[in-house]
Structure 1
Amino acid sequence: MTDQRSQAEIVRQSLKHRYRKERRFRAYGIIAIAIALSALLVLFADIIGKGYTGFIKTTVTLDVELDGEMMYLDDATDERQLKMADFVEPLIQALLKEIPEATESDRDAVRDLINPYASITLRDALKANPDWLGTTRTMTFLAHTDVDVYVKHGDDDAYSIKLSEQQQAWVDQLLERGVIDTAFNDVFFSNGDSRDPSKAGVLGAIVGSLLTMFVTLVLSFPIGVAAAIYLEEFAPQNRLTDFIEVNINNLAAVPSIIFGLLGLAVFINLFGMPRSVPAVGGLVLTLMTLPTIIISSRAAIKSVPPSIREAAEGIGASKMQVVLHHVLPLAMPGMLTGSIIGMAQALGETAPLLLIGMVAFIVDVPNGFFDSATVLPVQVFLWAGSPELAFIERASAAIMVLLTFLISMNALAIWMRKRLERRW
């Protein structure tokens, strides 16, 4: 009896010890998850805190007198006169009317309140509406970058305010009267890059990313699926296929910058393809994405039960018919999920694209696969390294746009997996 009690006591003590270890392990897991979520929240809070102002623009609304004598313009339909006309003076005069205390000696300080591109906006408006010449029009222009920074970050010590005290007083006065106002920054989504932060946008980077991803998808998905089918269903088990499988797994872990070096050496130096174009970027990202698609596609093919193959073969289907009519349709949801995740990874890559020249300053929105372009991650890289503090909020806003694309693609992959998966 004594021995039985001692044995039972030993078992109870052992169980208590095991349960304590299990509770500690669960606690460690919860703590790890809490730390990860906290870090993620801090990261998102920092990005959103710096970037939400990038979706806001500062504007100046003025009653502009389109006096032909002031602009040295007689005919608004004459291209030569439009090129030589003075479109800055009407803007200065309109601002001087809004700031009665400003004198002619303050012309330069007043001019610095409005964006340098405002004269181009005025010229384009008059070119589109020649009958405006000799009339007074109420028009809205972008404010100068320094004014934009002051309006949005005047109380933030991290931003240096470049306006003089007199200019700040003028801006405060114009804000009270509604001449200077803020609105949704549609320019951010309708313009390409610019050296002026208030004119800089992500449209060119978005279009470049979409073109690059299209090339990547068109090339990587069929090649990856075909390679997975061959290796899983048709390839004989020998040293050659073992060598290929090992190298596919190794390529999935190769740093992405290596693929950029490969693209630079092969596509640009050897084949002579142009730099900084979506076609070359798509080829480089295809090389990087292929291992991920092949591995996920092979896993999807393996998940199809052998009974499906055996049933098809039992009714006389050939090997090709078994694969194309039965295995591939059932494995396709897993293949699509893996491909979307691979594409999301490619969308966020920067290093390989830097090496093929997609770091260039591109103002125009690309119209084709061989037009100079940049992509969202590279645009963020360029803006984050700019000495202008006003570009920091643009970089953070671009990160938010990029995260929206990435989260959407991952959400689509999860939805497709839940919607199309089959349980055997």
Structure 2
Amino acid sequence: MTDASLTPATTATGTRSHTRDIGLKARYAAERRFRAYGLAAVALGLFFLFLLLGSVIAQGYTAFWQTSIQLDIEFDEEVIDPDGNRDSDRMVLLTANYPLLAQRALHEKLGVDPDDRAARRDANSLLSQGVRTQLRDIVVSDPSIIGTTRTVWVLAHGDIDSAAKGQFDLTVEESRRRVNDRQLGYMQTLEEAGVMEGRFNTGLFTFGASSRPETAGMGVAIIGSFYMMAIVLVLALPIGVAASIYLEEFAPKNRLTDIIEVNINNLAAVPSIVYGLLGLAVFINFAGLPRSAAVVGGLVLTLMTLPTIIIATRAALKAVPPSIRAAALGVGASKMQMVFHHVLPLAAPGILTGTIIGLATALGETAPLLLIGMVAFVADYPATPFDPSTALPVQIYMWSGQAERAFVERTSGAIIILLLFLAVMNITAIILRRRFERRW
């Protein structure tokens, strides 16, 4: 009987143990599958990220080099100032036929027959139209150069630059190319002589808007973005921090403050183009501020950034332990002293992080700036925030719509610059948080 009575119990125990093993194996298998799905998702995200960055860098790195031609230019007084009026009339130096000086030097370098109009035309097409501005600035800055011969690196035409970088298929028939066989021969002659090469493209960072890719740059956009970010920082940081401190530390908890908090959270999710419509209606149509001005862009981006800063600041204030507040009040500090002498310094890393992230988000915005007219063709630097200007993301948008092949590389080059700015701002936020963050 003993053996008979023990058999069912033993069988039941073995069955439960077997069932438990199957359950553990199933849970472990599910955990392994979940980890595999997570790794696959991360790998897929990194793949598309590297694909995007690789595409942008592959198309844009050439924008940082520009093909130039070294010429021995004679600043002929008969061309620049034949009447000798430059001391009394500065307009003489501004209106001279400077391209003729570069064309003469190029013809001499290539040995072009002066009577062959077709050869002279093809040779002249190697030079950018921006050579007028380039030589004019040299003469205006130093009029004593008139009558002398100087060695100058002048910009090549955009088509010549693209051909030199291999962006054109030069194996197709001549009628389908933007660069003909004679021009290719001229390019080969100049390259063999060592007077035609790719040089670092400083104009990408200093030139303004231009319809010619070789003379188009981000100078005006960089200055405009700087003005806008300065306005956002000056307005959004103090207003956002003050609003956060009041809502978190001083405001009574009632229905009104609940409505305000809900609306702040909703404003953070409003599409940026809506802020552009608001800025157009309030700052331009009602307040009468100038279109295409950095001050309007800064005000619009301030409104867009405020909810982000307020939410980040409130989260940083909430992260300060209640014991800090209780200890400050316990030793006799007023509520104002408790907030500004104890809570706010401890919340500063989170506030700085939220502010920098908000600024980085504002720096990359395009839609609201389009609605307030910052797509204007601006060639001169804005002296003040009230002058016409544009911004880096808008400049990228404008270049992306150009038909010239050389604008493709400039679009990607500008994207690289913008991504570097954003990366620096986000890395700064991470460093500040890790440098000043305190753990309890």
TM-score under structure 2 length normalisation = 0.92
Rounded to whole Å, the distance in 1 between the matches of 2:382 and 2:81 is: 36
Choose the corresponding residue for 2:342, options 307, 326, 335.
326
SS at match of 1:88: helix
Change (3 A) 1:22 1:102: farther
Within 5 Å, give how 1:17-36 maps onto structure 2.
17-36=26-45
Quick check: 121-130 or 402-411, which moved more? 121-130
Please report how far the alpha carbon of residue 131 of structure 1 lies from its aligned counterpart in structure 2 after TM superposition: 3.6
Deviation at 1:318, TM superposition (A): 1.4
Moved more, 96-105 or 223-232: 96-105
Name the structure 2 match of 1:309: 325
CA distance in 2, matches of 1:300, 1:79: 60
- Work out which of the residue numbers 156, 161, 164 in structure 2 matches 1:143: 156
What one-letter code is carried by the residue in structure 2 that aligns with 1:121? Q
Q: Does 1:7 align with 2:16?
A: yes
State the shift of 1:123 in Å: 3.1
Answering whether residue 98 of structure 2 is matched by residue 87 of structure 1, we say: yes
Q: Residue 83 of structure 1: CA displacement?
A: 4.7
Cα RMSD over matched residues?
Answer: 1.9
User: Counterpart in 2 of 1:197?
Assistant: 213
What SS class does the counterpart of residue 166 from structure 1 fall into? helix
Q: Is the 2:162–2:168 Cα contact (8 Å) retained in structure 1?
A: no
Among all aligned residue pairs of Structure 1 and Structure 2, give the percentage whose two residues are the same amino acid: 52
- The structure with the larger Rg is 2
Residue-by-residue CA offset, 1:218-237 (whole Å, 9 max, x unaligned):
11111111111111111111
Q: 1:224 aligns with which of 234, 240, 243?
A: 240
Aligned length: 424
Matches within 5 A, 1:60-139: 60-69=69-78, 73-75=82-84, 77=87, 78-83=89-94, 85-100=96-111, 102-104=113-115, 105=117, 106-139=119-152
CA distance change for structure 1 residues 156 and 339 in 2, over 3 Å: closer, same or farther?
farther
- Matched with 2:353 is 337
Distance in 2, Cα, partners of 1:385 & 1:154: 18
Alignment partner of 1:402 out of 418, 425, 429: 418
Q: Which amino acid aligns with 1:232?
A: E
Aligned 8 A contact 1:73 1:82 in 2: no
**Take 1:132 and 1:238, find their aligned partners in 2: how far apart are those partners?**
76
Q: Deviations over 1:326-350 (max 9, x none)?
A: 1111111111111111110011000
* Cα drift, residue 195 of structure 1: 1.4
Instruction: Indicate conservation of the 8 Å contact 2:68/2:197, yes or no.
Output: yes
In the alignment, which of 33, 42, 46 is matched to residue 55 of structure 2?
Answer: 46
**Deviation sequence 1:367-408 (CA, Å, 0-9, x none):** 211111111000000001111121111111111110011000
Query: Structure 2: which 5+ residue stretches go unaligned?
Result: 1-9
Q: Which amino acid aligns with 2:378?
A: I
For the pair 1:363 / 2:379, whether they are aligned, the reply is yes
How far is 1:99 from its partner? 1.6
CA distance in 2 between partners of 1:211 and 1:130 (Å): 34
